[in-house]
């Protein structure tokens, strides 16, 4: 039995709604607030939740960075030495470069959704996701320094 298509404006409208919903699911799948942070509710509630989470993640990131910097100057062998100073300088440069990358990457995602109500959530989710990735790398630095 052949499938029947719905004709007329009603069918066109339903088809358009289905297409928009499908595209929305496709475009928003990687940025679902519940997947990243457990935030839920209205857009404003999700945004507030994400802002709180980002502040916590950013605080952790800064704390780790400061601990690592302090670790460069407190070697048991009497200071960082010439190799330690070079490593410290490169570490600082890497952190500054990473901050530029994170900010540009997240601004690009924000710009992609600039006309939509999701733009702030997309920005915050990006900042949280990339900052958590960096935290894992910095924790690796601490492990390395403790050897």
Nearest-angstrom CA–CA distance, 61 and 16:
44
In a domain, residue 37? The reply is: yes
In the chain, the number of structural domains is 1
**Domain carrying residue 79:** 32-145
- Between 106 and 12, the more confident residue is 106
In a domain, residue 9? The reply is: no
Residue range 34-71, pLDDT digits in tens = 455 678 888 899 999 999 999 999 999 999 999 999 98
Nearest-angstrom CA–CA distance, 136 and 65:
12
In a domain, residue 13? The reply is: no
Question: Domain holding 83: CATH number?
Answer: 1.20.1270.180
In a domain, residue 73? The reply is: yes
In a domain, residue 67? The reply is: yes
């Amino acid at each position: 039995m052949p499938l029947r298509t719905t004709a007329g404006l009603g069918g066109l409208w339903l088809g358009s709604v289905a297409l928009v919903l499908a595209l929305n699911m496709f475009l928003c799948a990687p940025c679902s607030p519940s997947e990243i942070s457990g935030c839920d509710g209205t857009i404003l509630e999700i945004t507030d939740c994400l802002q709180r989470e980002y502040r916590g993640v950013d605080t952790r990131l800064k704390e780790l960075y400061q601990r690592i910097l302090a670790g460069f100057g407190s070697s048991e062998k009497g200071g960082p030495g010439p190799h330690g100073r070079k490593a410290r300088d490169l570490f600082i440069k890497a952190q500054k470069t990473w901050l530029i990358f994170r900010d540009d990457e997240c601004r690009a995602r924000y710009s992609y959704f600039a006309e939509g109500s999701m733009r702030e959530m997309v920005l915050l989710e990006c900042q949280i996701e990339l900052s958590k990735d960096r935290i894992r790398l910095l924790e690796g630095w601490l492990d390395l320094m403790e050897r």
